[in-house]
Structure 1
Amino acid sequence: MSKSIKSNYIFNLLNSVSQLLFPLITFPYASRIMMADGIGQVQFFSSIISYISLFTCLGIPMYAIREVAKVRSDAAKMSTTTVEILLLHAMLTILGYVAVAVICMTVSDVQTDIPLFLILSATIFFTAIGCEWFYQGIEDFKYVAIRGLVVKIISIALLFLLVKTKEDILWYGAYTVFGVLGGNIFNFIRLRKYVDRKIIDVHNLHPLRHLKPAIHIFVFNVITSIYLQLNTVLLGFLKDVAAVGYFTAATKLISMTMSVSNSLSSVMMPRASNLIAEHKMDEFKSIVQKSYDFIIAISIPLAIGLIFTSKSAVLLLSGEGFYPAILASQIVAINIISISMSGVMGIQILYPMGKINIVILCTFLGAITNVIANILLIPNYGHYGTAVAFALTELVVTFSMYLIGKKYIPIKLIKRQHLNYLISGILMGIVLFTIAEQNYNNITTLISMFLGGVLVYAICLTALRDPISKIIMNTITSKIKK
């Protein structure tokens, strides 16, 4: 991978990790101040707003990244495309606030605290002006990461200063909006640096031309969210709420782990879109193969690591009462590999090539698999059955994507090089198993596993003279020299 992609990946990973870690700092404080009913009130209103925001965003963020990336070398086209997409989002946002007004006037549960609901509805506005898709499209991940980090630090300070009693629920609501989307104000203002209003022909603006392709992304997002939500919905109906709790605890770990590999797809998609638009197909093929190799190199140890660390991690994060979540967490660990593979094929290759319909079809096949498997497995196996259904779903998505889109996917799915990662991962697993057998407390075990696992995996790759280890070592050496 080129130097800029490495830097982009690091900055995007920093942004993703910060989004996971900051709630670990703020939520314990907020939950003790707001108590369960206060947190529940904000979460209930936020969930309503999130559905409205889902429709006002349509599929714009993901679609816009590709479109900006395709024209970023042409200032006039980039400015025109950006303004058109902002106008389309503005139109949808107006419809969103019509929905907010209707809900405020008709839903009695919302009428209990309309000011809080309106404060939380600012999410819709901030999302519309945020245009983070623009900065991802031009690959300015450094700005996105630094801005996000600064805003999160400020928001934490405001939380501790303004939220001191349960009566400060409006301030807590404002914090939840600002902490996530406050930086979007700076995004919008900073657009002046890139968008030249003088070269935009107002009469040639056609924002609605982006509606149909954005809807395709929206359909993909809806199908994905449906089968992800169906796991817990079916589990709740066919078993009980305790099983839902165990499954939720199990999937929290994989969500945190997946941020490491998902960050690369976010970085690669705009680069791939740009190379295709400029007809640099040889470079495109080379770069996605390197990306795939790197994804395999990190997803295998992450999956193996999650299998062995699940016990200590679940008990540390959720408590002794969630012991049944451990096996479920170990079952879904395989998803780290399958989701990473489908991310490369779907987000980095098929979508930039305009083959979103293949991605939608494969996701739909996964959704059908998920429903059938859950119905068959939940009655007898509870949350373990849901974990198996979830793992099976992602395998179906991954392999159907490769089989259906094979003629468009210019990568080797299995290479001799990948054997290095499997061997290194197995040796790492042996070390992790040995550490797990010691009678350390959960924190000591996790730290020992992390340090030991990383060290063993790195030593093995170096001994095998793997290309990925050489790239990492060269990067470290160059940084030290600088």
Structure 2
Amino acid sequence: MDKKSPRRSLAKNALLSGGQKLISIVFPLITFPYISRVLSVEGIGKISYIESIVSYFVLVSGLGIANYATREGARIRDDQKQLDRFVGEMFTLNLLSTFIAYSALIVTLILLPNLRAYSILFLIESFSIIGTTLGVNWIYAIQEDYLYITIRTITVQFISLVLMFLLIHQPSDYITYASITVFAMVGGNVFNFFHAKKYVRLSFTLHINLRKHLKPILIIFASAIAVSIYVNSDMTLLGWLGSTRSVGLYSRSVKIYTIIKQMIASMVIVALPRLSSQQDKNSHKNFIRTANKILLSLLMLVLPVGIGMVLTAKNIILIIAGEKYLDATFALAVLGVASIFAVLSSFTTYCLLLPLRFEKIQMQATYISAALNIILNLFIIKYFEQNGAAVTTLISEIAVFFFEAVYVVHKTGYGHIFYVSKRDSSNLIFASISVILIAIFLRNIFASVVIDFILTVVCCAGSYFGILKLGKYSALQAPLN
């Protein structure tokens, strides 16, 4: 059996990964307005609250293995025997961490009786723990096979879409909604498990080189914990210090923010195996050139998206969630700014720190940001609820990016990766200004919110990319390969 994956260009991989994430976004967005109107704000708040808690156990199950396995596997992917042995070690560790995660979840429910009222939701959401493990998505990242994942995603999301409209008709159906969302997230992972045999021999092994693997895995895991804290602590603390209504409101803003951030950031993650391979082969010039191209491409994409979210936050909320969620408008606008820094911090993490094996720096950055997030939340959420939670998220995203970027610039010798020419800077500034002016000019011209939003997006996008094209922006002139 041929176990070699056809390696596509980074541009094609980015498009496939971004397309996969877009599909994961588009299908839920089709049901998003319907679900937001059928289910109560409180019902959605309960689901979001339990999701935020279970996400910590999913994190324990993952143990930082995915990023470590992707980075190290990319370095040995041309040696099939060595790769098979490595994959067996990673999968075995993942199974053990999954057992620990389930054990910790059971203990938590025993020790915190107030959570038992949500036992059914906990049971449903807990399937995401084992589902994520069986998905072995890191194998596909090692092989840079994003086509299969994209096809699988389309299939699972389509089934979920149909189930949403068939089974959810009233506020009491929030349990069914939770079940379908979990299926949408991990339902196709069983197929991943069997399909992975195309590339590797996936097996359980007792021969694990813990001395080699455990330390970097735990460092990456520690970073992931910190990221999860400042991503999910807002929702958790809102549930404790605020109300289920504020959680429901904030969850809509965070949902929109997260899917946009993840879609763009997914185009960064595909570069990890390629950059790791280049760094291992001492291809420093190629590494710098590739990383800089990725940065320029990201800036080109994230700036109009972030600015657009700020200027059209009200319309986005009305279209996707409805009038009863309008109190989430300010939070979404703040998160629009946060998305810019979130994507840039993804760049410093996946394109610089992890390939260069500076995971300790990422851990320090994320822990500082997580501590800052929690401290600020404890003081702010009580008074400003969802709006305060959004502000603390923005501050945390800014902090983690600048901490990582400053280290890269001053300590690694790779600071010129952040170089943006005067021509490219001018292009980005003028193009961004055009987006702001057009969005302000077209605001509320039409009675229909949908028409007003679509016209604004089309005109802003046309102006933005037209200016970049005429100005010969570098990322449009020399695509990634």
Deviation for aligned residue 1:262: 0.6
Tell me the SS of whatever aligns to 1:333. helix
Task: Name the amino acid aligned to 1:347.
Answer: Y
How well do the aligned residues superpose, as a CA RMSD in angstroms?
A: 3.7
Q: Deviations over 1:157-215 (max 9, x none)?
A: 45666778999998766544432212212211122221258xx9978543674333222
The alpha carbon displacement at 1:413 in A equals 4.3
8 Å CA contact 1:234, 1:374 repeated in 2:
yes
- From 284, 288, 293, the counterpart of 1:285: 288
Per-residue Cα deviation, 1:312-365 (whole angstroms, up to 9, x for no partner) = 112323333444433333333222322222221122111111101111112222
| 2: CA distance, partners of 1:247 / 1:43 | 9
- Structure 1 residues 67 and 321 mapped into 2: Cα distance closer, same or farther (>3 Å)? same
Taking structure 1 as reference, are residues 75 and 115 closer, same or farther at Cα in structure 2, changes over 3 Å only?
same
1:102 positional shift: 5.9
- Work out which structure has the larger RCO, using CA pairs closer than 8 Å and 6 or more positions apart in sequence: 2
Match of 1:393 in 2: 396
Distance 1:328 1:77 in 2: 49
Contact kept in structure 2, 1:84 and 1:207, CA below 8 Å? no
Task: Give % identity.
Answer: 27
8 Å Cα contact 2:265-2:346 kept in structure 1: yes
Shift of 1:366: 2.0
Contact residue 52 and residue 236 of structure 2 kept, 8 A: no
- Is 1:123–2:128 an aligned residue pair? yes
> Which whole-Å CA distance do the structure 1 matches of 2:152 and 2:141 have between them?
13
What is the distance in 2 between the residues matched to 1:365 and 1:3?
A: 37
Question: What is the distance in 2 between the residues matched to 1:250 and 1:41?
Answer: 16
Deviation digits for residues 421-455 of structure 1 (CA, Å, limit 9, x no counterpart): 11111012211111115243210111001111111
**Bigger-Rg structure (1/2):** 1
Question: What do the CA deviations read for 1:343-391 (whole angstroms, capped 9, x no partner)?
Answer: 2112211111110111111222223433454566567766544444332
SS at match of 2:418: coil
Q: Distance in 2 between matches of 1:271 and 1:78?
A: 16
Question: How far, CA to CA, are the matches of 2:177 and 2:244 in structure 1?
Answer: 28
* In 1, Cα distance between equivalents of 2:294 and 2:264: 10
2:149 aligned to which of 136, 144, 149: 144
Q: 1:139 to 1:103 in 2, by over 3 A?
A: same
Structure 1 residue 182 and structure 2 residue 187: aligned?
A: yes
Q: Deviations over 1:34-75 (max 9, x none)?
A: 888987887676666444332222112222221221211221
Match in the other structure for 1:134: 139
Distance of aligned partners of 1:69 and 1:18 in 2 relative to their CA distance in 1, 3 Å threshold: same
2:90 is aligned to: 85
> Do residues 55 (structure 1) and 60 (structure 2) align?
yes
The farther-off stretch of 44-53 and 300-309 is 44-53
User: Where do residues 429-440 of structure 1 align in structure 2 (5 Å cutoff)?
Assistant: 429-440=436-447
Which of 456, 464, 467 pairs up with 1:449?
Answer: 456
Q: Residues 327 and 101 (structure 1 numbering): CA distance in 2 closer, same or farther, change over 3 Å?
A: closer
2:32·2:320 contact (CA, 8 Å) conserved in 1? no
Of 262, 266, 270, the match for 2:265: 262
Aligned length: 471
Quick check: 131-140 or 402-411, which moved more?
Answer: 402-411
CA distance in 2, matches of 1:203, 1:239: 47
| Range with bigger deviation, 278-287 or 243-252 | 243-252
Alpha-carbon offset, residue 418 of structure 1: 2.3
Q: Are the counterparts in 2 of residues 232 and 244 from structure 1 also a CA contact under 8 Å?
A: yes
What runs of 5+ residues in structure 1 fail to find an aligned partner? 476-482
Change (3 A) 1:441 1:351: same
Matched-pair contact (CA < 8 Å) for 2:40–2:171: yes
Q: CA deviation at 1:246?
A: 4.9
Aligned to 2:421: 415
Match of 2:346 among 343, 346, 365: 343
What residue number does 1:480 align with?
none
Q: Report whether the alignment pairs 1:224 with 2:227.
A: yes
Conserved 8 A contact 1:220-1:363 = yes
Q: Which residue type is aligned with residue 251 of structure 1?
A: V
1:103–1:256 Cα change, 3 Å: closer
Find the partner of 1:73 among 78, 82, 86: 78
The answer as to whether partners of 2:297 and 2:475 remain within 8 angstroms in 1 is: yes
- Tell me, what secondary structure is at the counterpart of 1:216? helix
SS at match of 1:334: helix
Structure 1 residues 251-260 or 210-219, which shifts more? Answer: 251-260
2:15 is aligned to: 10
Query: Are 1:462 and 2:469 counterparts?
Result: yes
Q: Closer, same or farther in 2 for the Cα pair 1:108/1:143, shift >3 Å? A: same
Task: State how far apart, in whole Å, the 1-side matches of 2:167 and 2:235 are.
Answer: 35
Q: CA deviation at 1:216?
A: 1.3
Distance 1:235 1:36, change over 3 A: closer
Q: Which amino acid aligns with 1:436?
A: R
Alignment of 1:156-171 (within 5 A): 156-157=161-162
The answer as to whether partners of 1:249 and 1:318 remain within 8 angstroms in 2 is: yes
Q: Which residue of structure 1 lines up, in the alignment, with residue 278 of structure 2?
A: 275
